[in-house]
Amino acid sequence: MKKGQVSIQFNWIYILIIGGIILLAGISIVPKLKRTATESYVTDVKTYTDLILKTTQLNVQSENLVELGGARFEFTCGYYTIEESEIGHVEIRDVIFSPDTISGKMLGYSKYFQLPFKSEFFTYITSNQVKYVLKDSPEMAALNTSLPSNIDKTTVRNYREIDNENYDKIRYITFEENPRVSQLGSLKNIDDKDVSLVQITPIDPGFSSFSNGDLFESRFKNEYRIYDFGRVTYYIKQGNNFVPIGDVYYVDEASLIAAIYSEDPTRYKCGMKRAFEKLKKVAETRLDRVEKLSSLQQCPYSNAKVRLNEIIRLTTDIKHTKAHYNELYNYAIVLVKDNKVLVKLSCPPVY
């Protein structure tokens, strides 16, 4: 057997072993990649990247890491590429949220998207070269417990507390008014393209569309209710100012974290479009289940059928507006209540 064949065979055996360990134990991996020839090196990186994406999805809330050596990844809507390589656009079939570029160490994390039933894994990808600066507040303290520990994050009372340590990117996260660039201290001189800010605004979803408004109950035991429904405003640095570039909306914890990881509104909406497409398929399956269960005379499934039909309608034609997300959120929450009623009546639940 030729030396090259032995090397390829060994690489795949190694990948299968490591992948199996991750799947069974949920531990992190740190493959040590060595540059031999440029393209074989990049191919190895791609192989490990595909592995880390898949294992991150299969191990919910696990934190995974892969060293990229000198490789630099560019993520766009549905694809990634590796700079200065002959590998073209690699299609991403799953729901992934990330900055636009990643180098150094790739950090992976995942959570279920749940509205109200689980429909998809959200995979979050970032780098140790991205610094997340959290502006201290009671809401931020609650959010910090949901962010993975493997990202480089620091909570500050004053933006001047962070020094320039040659990060590729710095993202500020705040529940307060956006800061002025003059408040950034030594970071105010960093290139505009490397600094961004997301401002989170929780919104009372209301139940104006429903007659039984007393049905509302926060799904998350958090006094600030930051995960229920809200808006995220993206800002970019332009000279001495932070300039807003767009708003997006979230409907649960997973989608809020997705907005924090996403480079900009466009990439967030791309991921959410995919998520809603998968939510629609699961809702259709649940509706089919309810139609079959409706033959049980003592069980009231009519309300659940209405909610599911509305969820299907709203995920068929996605509009990334406050009204659209709010309506989808409200129907999901009322379906939670419908499901609880069925359980209390000892009826088969919707989910």
- Residues 145-182: tens digit of each pLDDT: 999 998 999 999 887 777 778 889 999 999 987 667 66
Q: pLDDT: is 335 or 240 the higher one?
A: 335
**Which residue, 233, 275, 274, 234, is CA-closest to 252?**
275
Whether 113 has a pLDDT exceeding 80, the answer reads yes
| Residue 222 reports pLDDT greater than 90 | no
Residue 32 has pLDDT above 70, yes or no: no
Percent of the chain at pLDDT above 90? 49
**Cα separations (Å) of 158 from 99, 137, 161, 192, 224?**
25, 11, 6, 20, 22
The pLDDT value given to residue 242: 87
Q: What is the pLDDT of residue 31?
A: 39
pLDDT of residue 257: 96
- Report residue 75's pLDDT band, with 50, 70 and 90 as the boundaries: confident
Is the per-residue pLDDT at 76 higher than 80? yes
8 A C-beta contact, residue 330 and residue 205: yes
Contact 202, 179 (CB under 8 A): no
Confidence class for position 210, pLDDT limits 50, 70, 90: very low
Report the pLDDT value the prediction gives residue 103, as an integer from 0 to 100: 86
12 CB-near residues (< 8 Å, 6+ apart): none
The residue-averaged pLDDT of 124-138 equals: 93
Q: How far apart are CA 270 and CA 48, in angstroms?
A: 24
CA angle 165, 166, 167 (to 5 degrees): 95
Average pLDDT, integer, range 21-35: 37
Rg (CA), the chain: 22
Q: Residue 249 phi/psi, 5° resolution?
A: -130, 150
Beta bridge partners of residue 122, listed in sequence order: 111
pLDDT band at 25; cut points 50, 70, 90: very low
So what's the pLDDT on residue 37? 41
Q: What is the pLDDT of residue 351?
A: 93
Give percent of the chain above pLDDT 70: 72
- pLDDT the model gives residue 329: 93
> Quick one: three-class SS letters along the chain?
CCHHHHHHHHHHHHHHHHHHHHHHHCCCCCCCCCCCCHHHHHHHHHHHHHHHHHHHHHCCCCCEEEEEEEEEEEEECCEEEECCCCCCCEECCCCEECCCEEEEEEEEEEEEEECCCEEEEEEEEEECCEEEEEECCHHHHHHHCCCCCCCEEEEECCHHHCCCCCCCEEEEEECCCCCCHHHHHHHHHCCHHHEEEEEEEECCCCCCCCCCHHHCCCCCCCCCCCCCCEEEEEEEEECCEEEEEEEEEECCHHHHHHHHHCCCHHHHHHHHHHHHHHHHHHHHHHHHHHHHHCCCCCCCCHHHHHHHHHHHHHHHCCCCCHHHHHHHHHHHHHHHHHHHHHHHCCCCCCC
User: Cα–Cα–Cα angle for 200, 279, 78, nearest 5°?
Assistant: 75
Token digits for 195? Answer: 């600094």
- 299-321 tens-digit pLDDT: 999 999 999 999 999 999 999 99
What is the residue whose two structure tokens read 């299968």?
16
Whether residue 195 has pLDDT greater than 70? yes
Q: What is the pTM of this model?
A: 0.80
Tell me how far apart the alpha carbons of residues 171 and 160 are, in angstroms, rounded to a whole number.
Answer: 14
How many other CB atoms are found less than 10 A from the CB of residue 151? Answer: 19
Distance CA 155, CA 135 (A): 6
Residue with more model confidence, 297 or 127: 127
Q: Assess whether pLDDT exceeds 60 at residue 40.
A: no
Q: Is the per-residue pLDDT at 220 higher than 50?
A: no
Supply the mean pLDDT for the chain.
79
Residue 67 pairs in a beta bridge with 105
Residue 50 scores a pLDDT above 70: no
pLDDT of 107 > 70? The answer is yes
Is 7 a residue whose pLDDT tops 70?
no
Banded model confidence at residue 108, pLDDT cuts 50, 70, 90: confident
Q: Which of 64-78, 230-244, 246-260, 336-350 has the lowest mean pLDDT?
A: 64-78
Q: What is the pLDDT of residue 33?
A: 39
Q: Which residue has the higher pLDDT, 153 or 77?
A: 153
